């Protein structure tokens, strides 16, 4: 048996029922010689002297209270060893638990020993186990289909790519399984943690059945023990086209996907599927969904014959559908566990939908790198994609690309007063003029032309080199400032930020309309120049103090001797920027 650690704290919180009677399964054959409607645990074993799984189900269903099923099948009773070597196989039967029950197949291992190195010692042929009653649990099976519709249940320590479906089950915990697909179907308050699984599907079915959304479910959690390794799902069509979503979010509210490794094997560096095309995929209507602190890598579907050989498809995160308040934060998208590129075609794409776009997507604090085209791609028809505080670098095309037809790929030029429309309103980007860097601070001067009398957040970034396009990317977030345009749509900024910038680094910026929360593409790069070695120190005494402020005020609005000492930033004139530098550094030494 392959060991799987159990999260004892989570277990205790889910299943806490008083124990009733215990029945032990002693044969894998599908035999029933007790009455289906009246047989109880007291009637076992039947006339044949054995207890089958079907009989155990009948008896526990008809015996009041929370009962337990154990296994002690002698090896001379093991069936189908040509297909399931080393495992006790339960042959097709009616395996439906309609009363609260604990089914513990690890007891078979205790009875016969560890006979199967690849997983647990009990398998099922031709049937699904259904847990229909509340407060039930199941563990220790290998490669079984399982459906849970009871509330507050616990599925743990199963192996062999077990397929697990929670259907209208609320408050259930799925943990520490080696699974194929884990599906949460029309469920609320369920938790999926500590699993190695091919994919996870969270479905609410609002429009189709009116039963959703699936609410307040959690996939993963903040601790290492809660991390799921969701390795990647996809298939190839008959034509060879790859398609598959590894984490599916469909008609959800309040779902959290946190701290998982999505798209790689548990080693964190090997892609888990050559057919998976979406790491996290949104469809339907989703509200208040958070994707945070995940590693999403290796999501790249590779086409095969007969017609799609070498064709590449993939998104780390793909957002479409309707809804609001989608947060994608603090993830690493496109890099493996060693920080090496293992990206998709697009890092994140936010796309339009036939019923209208999602309202309000926040992309913040992520590292987005290693993709074959864009880091973040926003489609026509979508507004309110707020892109802030990210590290976006080493993508083959633009760091941020707002779709503009017909090609849809490439820098979108600014326009006067920002009257054009399209993805994120085709928000104009800032124009940078100067940047002066020191080990302690950076001063950035530039302009923004956009809508008149409007407020914008301007974010600043540094990169080791400029993108080949001349625009972006933004490897290191430096800080931000809010600017207000005048009646002509113009704003001038001169910002000093407490961030270390070396001479020669590429400085870029983005602008975000604070009314619509729509972010621009990256600005054109400028190279940082070396700033003053001691910011604000005008007289060389290695401290920024009242004497330096006096020098600046004395020379305000002037240039050249005897006013040169007040020109802190070396731009040839003593002005507000120099006063700002002195005030920012006031009281500090060098």
Report helix, strand or coil for 527.
strand
Could you give the CA distance from residue 380 to residue 523 in angstroms, rounded to a whole number?
20
Q: What is the pLDDT along the chain (590 residues), one digit of tens a residue?
A: 554 443 433 433 333 334 579 999 999 999 999 999 999 999 999 999 999 999 999 999 999 999 999 999 999 999 999 999 999 999 988 999 999 999 999 999 999 999 999 999 999 999 999 999 999 999 999 999 999 999 999 999 999 999 999 999 999 999 999 999 999 999 999 999 999 999 999 999 876 666 679 999 999 999 999 999 999 999 999 999 999 999 999 999 999 999 999 999 999 999 999 999 999 999 999 999 999 999 999 999 999 999 999 999 999 999 999 999 999 999 999 999 999 999 999 999 999 887 778 999 999 999 999 999 999 999 999 999 999 999 999 999 999 999 987 777 899 999 999 999 999 999 999 999 999 998 888 999 999 999 999 999 999 999 999 999 999 899 999 999 999 999 999 999 999 999 999 999 999 999 999 999 999 999 999 999 987 666 677 776 767 888 888 888 888 887 766 656 678 777 778 888 888 888 888 876 65
Cβ pair 163, 146 in contact under 8 A: yes
Report helix, strand or coil for 379.
coil
Predicted local confidence at residue 215, as pLDDT: 97
Q: What is the largest CA-CA distance in the chain?
A: 113
Q: What are the b/e assignments for 74-89, b being 16+ CB within 10 Å?
A: eeeebbeeeebebbbb
- The CA angle 179-105-231, to the nearest 5 degrees, is 10
CA dihedral 368, 372, 376, 381 (to 10 degrees): -160
Predicted local confidence at residue 449, as pLDDT: 98
Could you give the CA distance from residue 61 to residue 65 in angstroms, rounded to a whole number?
9
Neighbours of 145 (CB within 10 A): 18
The whole model's pTM is what? 0.88
Predicted local confidence at residue 459, as pLDDT: 99
Could you give the CA distance from residue 420 to residue 114 in angstroms, rounded to a whole number?
68
Catalogue all structural domains in the chain, each as residue range(s) with its CATH number.
196-372 (no CATH), 428-530 (2.60.40.650), 546-585 (no CATH)
Compute CA distances 87 → 14, 297, 421, whole Å. 29, 35, 63
Could you give the CA distance from residue 235 to residue 302 in angstroms, rounded to a whole number?
10
Could you give the CA distance from residue 328 to residue 326 in angstroms, rounded to a whole number?
7
- The CA angle 146-149-155, to the nearest 5 degrees, is 50
Predicted local confidence at residue 404, as pLDDT: 86
Predicted local confidence at residue 17, as pLDDT: 37
DSSP code for 464: S
Predicted local confidence at residue 13, as pLDDT: 32
Could you give the CA distance from residue 62 to residue 59 in angstroms, rounded to a whole number?
5
Report helix, strand or coil for 516.
coil
Look at the block and give the residue holding tokens 């590779």: 302
Strand partners, 175: 156, 193
Q: Kindly state the tokens that stand for 417.
A: 């007063």
For the chain, the residue count is 590
Cis peptide before 45 (omega within 30 of 0): yes
- What is the layout of strands, in order, in the sheet containing 529-530? 490-497, 442-449, 431-437, 529-530
Could you give the CA distance from residue 74 to residue 506 in angstroms, rounded to a whole number?
71
């Amino acid at each position: 048996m392959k060991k799987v650690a159990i999260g004892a704290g989570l277990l205790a919180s889910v299943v806490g029922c008083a124990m009733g009677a215990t029945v032990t399964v002693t044969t894998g054959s599908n035999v029933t010689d007790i009455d289906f409607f009246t047989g109880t645990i007291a009637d076992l074993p039947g006339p044949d002297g054995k207890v089958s799984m079907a009989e155990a189900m009948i008896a526990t269903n008809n015996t009041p209270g929370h009962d337990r099923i154990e296994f002690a099948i002698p090896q001379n009773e093991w069936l189908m060893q040509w297909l399931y070597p080393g495992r006790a196989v339960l042959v097709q039967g009616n395996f439906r638990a309609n009363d609260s029950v604990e089914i513990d197949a690890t007891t078979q291992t205790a009875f016969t020993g560890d006979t199967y190195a690849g997983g647990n010692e009990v398998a099922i042929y031709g049937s699904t186990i259904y847990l229909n009653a509340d407060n039930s649990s199941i563990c220790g099976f290998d490669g079984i289909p399982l459906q849970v519709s009871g509330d507050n249940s616990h599925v743990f320590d199963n192996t062999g790519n077990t397929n697990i479906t929670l259907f209208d089950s609320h408050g259930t915990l799925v943990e520490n399984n080696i699974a194929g697909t884990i599906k949460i179907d029309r469920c609320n308050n369920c938790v999926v943690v500590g699993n190695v699984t091919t994919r996870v599907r969270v479905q609410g079915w609002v429009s189709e059945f009116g039963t959703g959304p699936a609410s307040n479910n959690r996939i993963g959690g903040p601790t290492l023990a809660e991390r799921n390794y969701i390795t990647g799902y996809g298939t190839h069509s008959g034509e060879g086209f790859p398609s598959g979503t590894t984490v599916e979010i469909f008609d959800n509210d309040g779902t959290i996907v946190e701290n998982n490794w999505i798209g790689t094997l548990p080693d964190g560096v090997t892609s888990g599927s050559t057919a998976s095309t979406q790491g996290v995929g949104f469809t339907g209507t989703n509200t208040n969904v958070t994707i945070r602190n995940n590693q999403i890598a290796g999501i790249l579907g590779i086409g095969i014959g007969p017609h799609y050989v070498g064709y590449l498809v993939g998104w780390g995160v793909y957002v479409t559908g309707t809804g609001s308040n989608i947060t994608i934060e603090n993830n690493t998208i496109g890099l493996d566990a060693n920080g090496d590129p293992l990206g998709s075609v697009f890092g994140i794409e936010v796309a339009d939908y036939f019923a209208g776009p999602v309202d309000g997507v926040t992309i913040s604090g992520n590292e987005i790198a290693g993709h074959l085209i864009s880091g973040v791609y926003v489609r026509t028809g979508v507004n309110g994609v707020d892109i802030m505080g990210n590290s976006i670098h080493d993508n083959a095309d633009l760091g941020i690309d707002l779709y503009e037809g017909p090609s849809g790929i490439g820098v979108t030029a600014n326009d006067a007063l920002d009257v054009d429309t399209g993805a994120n309103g085709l928000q104009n980007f800032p124009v940078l003029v100067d940047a002066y860097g020191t080990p302690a601070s950076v001063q950035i001067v530039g302009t923004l032309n956009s809508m008149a009398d409007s407020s914008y957040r301007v974010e600043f970034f540094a990169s080791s080199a400029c993108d080949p396009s001349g625009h972006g990317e933004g490897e290191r977030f430096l800080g931000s400032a809010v600017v207000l345009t005048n009646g002509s749509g113009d704003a001038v900024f001169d910002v000093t930020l407490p961030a270390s910038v070396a001479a020669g680094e590429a400085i870029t910026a983005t602008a975000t309309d604070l009314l619509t929360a729509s972010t621009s593409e990256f600005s054109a790069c400028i190279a940082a120049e070396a700033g003053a070695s001691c910011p604000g120190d005008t007289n060389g005494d290695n401290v920024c103090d009242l004497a330096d402020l006096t020098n600046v005020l004395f020379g305000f609005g002037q240039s050249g001797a005897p006013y040169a000492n007040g020109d802190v930033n070396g731009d040839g004139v003593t002005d507000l920027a120099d006063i700002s530098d002195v005030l920012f550094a006031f009281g500090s030494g060098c």
